[in-house]
Amino acid sequence: MINIQEQPAVHTSLTETLASKIALWINKERDGEHIRYLKMKLGIETLLINTMKSVLVYGLALLFNMLLETLIVHATYYAVRRISFGLHASTSFRCSMISIMLFVGLPYICSYIMIGNDMVLITGLISAVLLYRYAPADTDKFPLLGAKRRKKLRMASVRTAVILTLIALLCPSHTVKTLMMTGMLLQIISILPVTYKILKRSVRNYEKYETDAVGRI
C-alpha cells in the first residue's frame, strides 16, 4: 500500500481542504491506495460543494418565501439536465451566484407571469425539438463517449420534456405552468451551441477522444 501524507495546499478552498481531510481519514481507516484517496476526495468535495449551494439557494428561497417556486423550477430543470447535461459554471462561486439568480430571482419574477396551455404546448414542442437536435451536450472535462449512450440520453431527454409538458398542460395552476416551462427552458439554454459559443466553450468534446481512438486502430 502507498502511504499517503497530506501535503500543505496553496490557495485551496475550504471545501477542498475539508474534503482532503475527510478522504485522508477514511482512506487510512480502510488502508486504501492513493488512487482511491483521490477519487474519494473528488467525490466528497463535489458533495460538500453541492450541499453548500443547496443550503444557500434554498435558504434564500425560504427567507424570501419562495421555497415552493424555487423547488418547482429546480425540479423541472434537474429532471431534464440529469440526462441532457450541458454547461457548467467555470468556478464554484460563479455557480452559486448563477444558481441564486436562476432559482430564486427568476422564480420570483415568474410568479407574476401567467401562461396558458397554448404557450405550454409551444414551449414543450420547441424544447423537445432542441433536445433531439442538441442533447446530450458535454463539456471538455466530461466528454460523453459512445454513440449508443448519446442516443439513449437524447431520446430519454425528449421523453422527459414531453412528460413534463403533459404534466404542465394538466396542471390547473397557471403559475405552476410558468415555473415548469421556465425550468425546462433554463436547461435548454445550457445545451445550445450558441450558448457554448458566447461563453467560448468547446462543443461535441467526445469527438476528440473518439477520433483519437479510431486513429490508433
Residue 15 has a pLDDT of: 67
Question: Does 140 have pLDDT greater than 90?
Answer: no
C-alpha cell recorded at residue 18: 475539508
Over residues 36-49, mean pLDDT: 75
Q: How many Cβ atoms from other residues are within 10 Å of residue 163's Cβ?
A: 12
Highest mean pLDDT among 9-13, 19-23, 139-143, 213-217: 139-143
Q: pLDDT of 171-198, one tens digit each? A: 999 999 999 999 999 999 999 999 999 9
Dist CA 21 CA 81 (whole Å): 31
pTM of the predicted protein model: 0.81
Better pLDDT: 35 or 106: 106
Residue 137 has a pLDDT of: 94
C-alpha cell recorded at residue 201: 466553450
Is residue 25 within 8 Å of 65, Cβ to Cβ? no
C-alpha cell recorded at residue 3: 502511504
Residue 12 has a pLDDT of: 55
